[in-house]
Amino acid sequence: MQEYRAYQGREASGPLAGRDLVAAVESRIDRRKFQDHHWTGTFWEYLDTCAQNPAVARNAYQRLYDAILSQGYEKYKAFKKECIRYRFFSDPFDNGADAIFGLDFALMQLVDCLRSAAEGYGTDKRILLLHGPVGSSKSTIARLLKKGVEAYSKTADGALYSFSWLLDERCEVTAVGSGAREAQKTHAFACPMHEDPLVLIPKDAREEVLARLNAGYKPKNHSGRLRVTGEPDPFCRKIYEDLMRFYDGDWRKSMEHVRVRRIVLSERDRIGIGTFQPKDEKNQDSTELTGDINYRKIAQYGSDSDPRAFNFDGELNIANRGICEFIEVLKLDVAFLYDLLGASQEHSIKPKKFAQTSIDEVILGHTNEPEYKRLQSNEMMEAFRDRTIKIDVPYNIRLDDEIKIYEKDFGTGRIQGIHIAPHTLEVAAMWAVLTRLDEPKKAGLTLMQKLKLYNGKSIPGFTEDSVRELKEEAPREGMNGISPRYVQDKISNSLVSRQALEDKGINPFMVLNELESGLSHHSLLSDENTKKRFRELLSVVKEEYEDIIKGEVQRAISADEDAIRRLCANYIENVRAYTQKERVKNKYTGRDEDPDERLMRSIEEKIDIPDGRKDDFRQEIMNYIGALALDGKKFEFNTNARLYRALELKLFEDQRDTIKLKNLVSSVVDDETQKKIDVVKQRLIKNFGYNETSATDVLNYVASIFARGDSKTR
């Protein structure tokens, strides 16, 4: 302390003093929270806590389910089904570093299983098995569950407790003096499996205690009752029995040797969160799951069957009260899988040389499809299959969600010094999703249109019912196709390519070329027909991208709001006259004339309004304007999206020849045209996110399209 005060008294040298750094650290440390997380008290104080807040005695499934619900959720409709998006899986614990996008159906199924387990309906006796293709976020979901339950245990609502034994330095029950009836309490020995102190209540009395706690237990998210089953672990059972013998069966006196302490679940500290990963079978045995003998202590306690000479530090031991993740669980040796049978069904494990030991934890595994198929074909593994609940975790089949995956790594502000042109991530995501979709069976529907329907875009002739039918006829969509990892790798390759470094930017064609070149040596694609199909899909994406940028250039050319406003006013005036069977006054001649049918049709044709539907469309526009007026709102040129698009396309058609876009591909451009092109370029930069280089590239590319006669509008 004196040294610290002396340090505080030093003169600051330079603009930033060391004590400023200390102050910055201290400002981030919440001492009150630290004290709460390290609270200790007597067994009786813990019973008082239970009486006031019975939720501290929840089991692992109840706590995990409550942790998920504690972050909130939002409901929405998708394909006429009610869906739930749980904010827990957006990773609020780490600023979205492990956020999951687009897997709401799979996550709903997972949370429903946890709800059922929290209620005690039987799924708490099963292994939850996340099954899906590589890179579909199975590991990320498991990591989020561990991260989330750890964060929840730090909150007041998620508080949980374990205990230590107060004994002598040898972990034995010895009297404080000769003939004394009081045992020493000089050293604390923690329960190795972080058990709930309520397991120390004898079974005969536990039922009544739980009944009283349940009478005051009002769970927020489920109706499950508090259940404390099983006996203390072998170490605690021995200490308990030794104390009961020392005090001649006086349970109250024995409990005075219990020091209850709050625990915070932590994977790093191996408290309540375990992770097991298969390794070389020759260097791995089941003791890694259930603990092993501490040979150093055998000499001290005289027997390898003394629980004090045993390390209860296997993954299933230390994960008690929380969650245990099994990475690639079906790669485990059969001996390990046998351990999981009892751990799931009976909630017990069998440490070497000890009786069955109770556990309370969520067991979560994940595996890929080839391993799961091998399990299905193995008749010897029927018992394991019977104890698992398979939850499919597919790839995204919704474009917007796939884009979010890549934006997390390569979005705005993530990449310094390299400009990522608009739609670069979009076209990569588009191709990835297309590889995962089944060809539609509906006549006249393309795969690209199916992608757009899944993404919520309206296509004439298709309703929500027809989209739902599309999904039902392809139940395995998303279980095959390109992994997001492959796309991420190819985007990374593009960012460090020589061209990207020279141009200080990348564009969609650079990424598409990378995606195509990587297919020839893709480690997971051995079928040439599949590679051929994926290359064909790249061509489909390029065509779609061309349509997108043509549309943007069209908008940039026709972005003169005054001109659009004038065109809109002219159209509405003619439509009003047409629907009311009136004539229009010509501003220049002053004569009354018939509505300008040529003008109206030239606009309506831009959005595919057939001649037979023109009356309906015009009446629809007038009704729309009337409804706005009744609400006290004013109709503007951009109020109706369809009409606005038609006006843009009409204006583009009128102005395209004056700008002479085709001249861009020639080496000579006159000054007047160049000025107009520069205006368009600035609109692309301002309105669509291009920079100078990418805007020039897009204009040149679109100009080449028009130069070869492809003037199709979007």
For residue 665, the model assigns a pLDDT of 46
Q: pLDDT, tens digit, for every residue of 346-385?
A: 999 999 889 999 999 999 999 998 888 888 888 778 888 8
> Within 10 Å of residue 242's Cβ, how many Cβ atoms?
19
What's the mean pLDDT when you consider all of the chain? 88
User: Coil, strand or helix: which one is 321?
Assistant: coil
* Distance in angstroms between the alpha carbons of the first and the last residue of the chain: 74
Within-domain flag for 605: no
Reported pTM = 0.86
Within-domain flag for 491: yes
Within-domain flag for 469: yes
Residue 121 tokens, joined: 């309906």
Within-domain flag for 198: no
CA distance 104 to 445: 26
**For the chain, counts of helices (H) and of strands (E):** 30, 19
Longest dimension (CA), the chain: 125
Find all residues with CB under 8 Å of 69, minimum gap 6, and list them. 86, 88, 220, 221
For residue 714, the model assigns a pLDDT of 46
User: Coil, strand or helix: which one is 498?
Assistant: helix
Number of domains in the chain: 1
Q: pLDDT, tens digit, for every residue of 498-553?
A: 999 998 999 999 999 999 999 988 877 878 899 999 999 999 999 999 999 988 88
Strands (E), 203-329: 258-263, 273-276, 292-293, 310-311, 323-326
Instruction: Render the burial of 10-24: b for 16+ CB within 10 Å, e for the rest.
Output: eeeeeeeeeeeeeee
Strands (E), 571-631: 584-585, 592-593
Element (H, E) at 161: strand 160-167
Is residue 349 within 8 Å of residue 342, measured between CB atoms?
yes
CA distance 698 to 677: 12
On the question of pLDDT at 642 being above 90, the answer is: no
Q: pLDDT, tens digit, for every residue of 182-212?
A: 999 999 999 999 999 999 999 999 999 999 9
> 522 or 84: which carries more pLDDT confidence?
84
Residue 662 tokens, joined: 């085709």
Q: Which domain holds residue 412?
A: 399-544
Within-domain flag for 153: no
Element (H, E) at 160: strand 160-167
Within-domain flag for 214: no
Q: Compute φ and ψ for 76, nearest 5 degrees.
A: -155, 170
Q: pLDDT, tens digit, for every residue of 552-576?
A: 888 887 777 778 888 888 899 999 9
